[in-house]
Amino acid sequence: MLDLLKRPVHTFQEFILLSIRSIRGVFRKPAYWGDTVIQMDLIGVGSLPVVGLTGFFSGAVMALQMSRALQTYGATSQVGKIVAITMVREMGPVLTALMVAGRNSSGMASELGSMKVTEQIDAMRALGTDPVLKLVKPRLLATAIVLPLLTVIADFLGLVGGWFVASVMLQLTPGAQYWETAWRAIEYNDIAQGLIKPLCFAIVLSMVGCYYGMQTTGGTQGVGRSTTQAVVVASVWVVVLTFIIGRIFTNL
């Protein structure tokens, strides 16, 4: 039993140690701002289309599915409220994080994994550069900056998707009423939850991607394995964390 637990506990310990070193590294020099900006472009600008489409269609689908239930109760005017609360609290942060996990955690794992198996990370250390500062820190910082921004964009486009279905396609509610109910439904608690979640997800997504990349062994096959593991672990953590954070906020 102990032998079975040894490996996951060791992995978790190594992951936490790397996370601590990276978060500490944020306050240490050199800053590597150039690398951070490149990563922000890769993660932020690169993920915009996929995050935008996901946000828009999830809002649209939500309005579509809700339409029948709300019509039953004669509450079609509330569609904006439902879309807004669901998008801002849950769907926006979670779907954005899952998209970024699929796109960027895998990218980080494969990029750093390839560097590891071709001895580039060893060479970096041998040539006087700390790979945690040079490779992990910019990815952590960039994800922490762009994921909340991507989430806000996904939330807004989700609301637009909901408006398109509710007001333009099905004409359940006038546009002005849709936006009014949506705006009034959102409280400070929802906004805080909707921004704290992506920040926590950002740390997990970037650290999982970098951790699996830095731990890669076994040539190109190992790179593939690390990439898959990074996406799976990051996605599972997103779902687990959203529950934990949601639970904390419902008690506030």
Partner 1 sequence: MSPAAQPPVMVFDGVCLAFGGECVLDRISFEVARGETLVIQGAAASGKTLILKLALGLIRPTRGRILLFGEDVTEYSDAQWNGVRARIGMLFQEGGLFDSLTVEENVAYPLLNQLRTPLTGEEIRRRVEESLEFVELGHTLDKFPSELSGGMRRRVGIARAIVTQPELLLYDSPTAGLDPITATTIMALIVKGRDMSHATTVMVTHRHQDGELLDRYRWDPSTGSLAPAEPGSTRTRFMVLREGRIVFLGTPAEFDACEDPYVAKFASR
Closest approach of partner 1 to the CB of residue 202, in Å: 23
Q: How far apart are the first and last CA of the chain?
A: 39
Closest approach of partner 1 to the CB of residue 63, in Å: 44
By the 8 A CB rule, do 245 and 143 touch? Answer: no
Closer residue to partner 1 in complex, CB, 77/129? 129
Closer residue to partner 1 in complex, CB, 94/132? 132
Contacts of 63 (CB under 8 A, 6+ apart): 79, 83, 161, 162, 163, 164, 165, 166, 170, 172
Closer residue to partner 1 in complex, CB, 11/177? 11
Positions in the binding site for partner 1 (CB under 8 A): 114-115, 118-120, 122-130
Paired tokens of 74: 């004669």
By the 8 A CB rule, do 200 and 245 touch? Answer: yes
Closer residue to partner 1 in complex, CB, 10/68? 10
Closest approach of partner 1 to the CB of residue 232, in Å: 24
The dihedral built from the CA positions of residue 224, 225, 227 and 231, taken in this order, carries a sign that is positive
Closer residue to partner 1 in complex, CB, 28/184? 28
Closer residue to partner 1 in complex, CB, 122/187? 122
Closest approach of partner 1 to the CB of residue 6, in Å: 10
Closest approach of partner 1 to the CB of residue 10, in Å: 10
Closest approach of partner 1 to the CB of residue 128, in Å: 4
Q: For residues 89-111, b (16+ Cβ closer than 10 Å) or e, as one string?
A: bbbbbbbbbbbbbbbbbbbbbbb
Contacts of 107 (CB under 8 A, 6+ apart): 42, 209
